[in-house]
Chains A and B, each alone.
Chain A
Amino acid sequence: MKFKKIRESKFWMIILSLIALAAIVLYVIRVYNVNKNALLPEYQVYSQTEQVEYKGINYGIQSATMMNYNEFFKKNPQYVDYSIPDDGERKVIVVEYSAELVDDGARLETYIPIKYLYVFNSFDPMLFDDMNPSLANGSFKSGDTFTIVYEIYKNNLSEKEWKNIENTEYRLIFGAYPVRKEIVLSDINRM
């Protein structure tokens, strides 16, 4: 049957409309199910003073300090700046963690990223090695502390966000799924 004839036939138009309606309903049900069954993590938010149990170890925040990048190396001349000189203006947040063994089979997790605004930052592994010799030589014990320096780049932010960088909320992330534990850094020392 030619398309023109189908279009003029009420019967066929009703059939086609019903098929279209059924397709729409099926599509809506499918989209609804996909969203209903999405595997999203359960968020657990902790304050800076709380301990977070993660992979059999209790992590706590001993201190968090924010300063300009150059200032950090002035204060700590023993460390080597591995970054490229023209990386642009930036700040650092120096976070000192304590780690206490809870489960004997646990492994220390040192990959703890930081999240702020819509930015997710890892850290410089070479500087991490330099700052934590006990982790490198194997003398690290339960209850010891280790330090991670997070870099915040102006280039990743808008002018407005950079101006407000000291008042931004920072979160340290432990794991992604099924439970995502986050420590909110609410008490950062500013230098």
Chain B
Amino acid sequence: MSKSGYSVLQFQRDDKAGRVVKNIFKIEIKKMLKSKGFLISIILGIVIVLLHTRWVYVNLYVPNQELLEVKLQSQEYGVLDDWFECGILLGWLGNDGFSLYNALFYFVFPIISVIPYGMSLYNDMNSGYISSVLAKCSRKDYLVSKYVVTFISGGIVVAAPLILSIMTAACYLPAVGIDLLAMKGGSNTALWHGLFYEHPVLYAVCFTVLNFIYGGIFALICVTVSKWFANRFMAAIFPFILNNYTTKGLGNVFDEMLRYTPGYFINSSLNVNITMASVMIITVVVLGLTTFIYYINYRKLETLE
């Protein structure tokens, strides 16, 4: 039995390579889902969502309803003219520009995404688990599985709070777009701005998918650079430092570049002026570069084969 609790005997050698990959993949997924890091990240995300939901309910929704009651009782001419219903996006963590919880979530975003599985390759190598695994399967199969599971783990832990947030918001806010009169829309050049007003739930889904991808990328960056650091803590906070360096460092020095930094455009509350094509190009480049460095770093992984 390995240190991590997963026996390498679980691998069932098969003539078909696909079967082996599937087994490794299944084991890695189980490992990830049962890891303490995954639980910590999910709990952290849920705590932020619950605090945020409470904040929105108490500070935005209830005062808006109270204002309506007061106005309905007033006999003054046109007193209701500046009242509008709060839309679902007002209560969505991903788009909240009023409380600090959105800023907090995106501040810890790279940390949350690496906690579950970002350090797994480092741990496997240091614990010796990797030698046992590579005795039963090929290095390529192992690395591909690790790559995919790490990506999924990072994606899940950042997407789950966003999904939970839209679900809790749906319990008290209708799925209508934010009223133009609320002046909370931003410019017409922001990403998916049409969906923002007309299909708010789809808008939230699109940004959740984008966040999933970048959660995965941050986790991959961590697993990729973990070979460079003797201290695993350094590897774990590397994506966090990189994200802050690009958004708050480089982004502020080169003003025009700020909108092209992922840490900036994945946050829908910032209404970043960027096109879908630019987002796709940046994502492909970042993912491609991470994959390339991952390959370079681990292609000569020591094996017992």
Contact = CB atoms under 8 A, between A and B. Distances in A.
B29 to A, nearest CB: 18
A155 B189 CA distance: 8
B81 interface: yes
Contacts of B136: none
Contact of A158 (B172, B183, B189): B189
| Chain B CB within 10 A, most for which of A105, A115, A156, A161 | A156
B188 interface: yes
Interface residues on A, range: 20 to 34
A31 B83 contact: no
A39 B85 contact: yes
Interface residues of B, number: 29
A34 B86 CA distance: 11
Interface string B184-195: 010111000110
B81 A175 contact: yes
Q: Chain B contact residues: over half helix, strand or loop, or mixed?
A: loop
Given A39-B85, A118-B188, A176 B179 contact: yes
Contacts of A105: 77
A41 B256 CA distance: 40
Interface of B: 68, 77-78, 80-85, 167, 170-176, 179-181, 183, 185, 187-189, 193-194, 196-197
Interface of A: 27, 30-31, 34-35, 37-41, 54-56, 105-107, 109, 113, 115, 117-120, 155-158, 161, 173, 175-178
16 contacts: A27-B167, A34-B172, A34-B174, A35-B175, A38-B176, A40-B176, A118-B180, A118-B193, A118-B197, A119-B188, A120-B181, A157-B187, A158-B189, A176-B80, A176-B181, A177-B81
